């Protein structure tokens, strides 16, 4: 189960967004590995992992952007992937009611990332 400590540890370096987004992907993978494999979960897990791990990958690309325009574009992708992760977490919670608490912890972190990337985009 992803626990609040794992997420909180990533937040403790709140200005190290690269570490925070990477940790989010790691926790998402750990959570997904524990979900039962069935006809409903398989596509949900796949989509969830793609979006959750894409946040960190796109942030790393933004960090080495070639221009301000490129940076803004990549941060926008980070925001979109974070929002998509919220959707997949909701679907996983619906199909796995016993995992609601774990989904809420991850949902909260994904939501905070959406807010962070929205704020970065507004500043640029």
Write down the pLDDT at residue 124. Answer: 64
Query: Rounded to an integer, what distance in angstroms lies between the CA atom of residue 100 and that of residue 105?
Result: 9
| Domains annotated on the chain, with CATH | 18-26+40-123 (1.20.1440.60)
Write down the pLDDT at residue 122. Answer: 86
Condensed to tens digits (0 to 9), the pLDDT of residues 42-96 reads 999 999 999 999 999 999 999 999 999 999 999 999 999 999 999 999 999 999 9
Write down the pLDDT at residue 9. Answer: 58
The answer to whether residues 21 and 113 touch, using CB atoms and an 8 Å cutoff, is yes
Give the CA-trace dihedral at 18, 123, 121, 115, to 10 degrees.
70
The answer to whether residues 105 and 49 touch, using CB atoms and an 8 Å cutoff, is no
Q: Where are the beta strands (DSSP E) in 1-124?
A: none
Model confidence, pTM: 0.88
Q: Is the pLDDT of residue 12 over 60?
A: no
């Amino acid at each position: 189960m992803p626990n609040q400590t794992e997420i909180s540890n990533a937040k403790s370096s709140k200005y190290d967004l690269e570490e925070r987004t990477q940790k989010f992907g790691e926790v998402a993978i750990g959570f997904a590995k524990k979900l039962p494999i069935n006809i409903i979960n398989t596509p949900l897990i796949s989509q969830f992992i793609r979006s959750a791990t894409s946040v960190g990958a796109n942030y790393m690309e933004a960090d080495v952007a070639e221009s301000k325009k490129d940076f803004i574009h990549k941060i926008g992708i980070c925001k979109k992937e974070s929002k998509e992760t919220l959707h997949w977490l909701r679907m996983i919670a619906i199909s796995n009611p016993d995992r609601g608490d774990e989904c809420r912890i991850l949902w909260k972190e994904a939501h905070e990332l959406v807010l962070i990337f929205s704020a970065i985009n507004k500043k640029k």
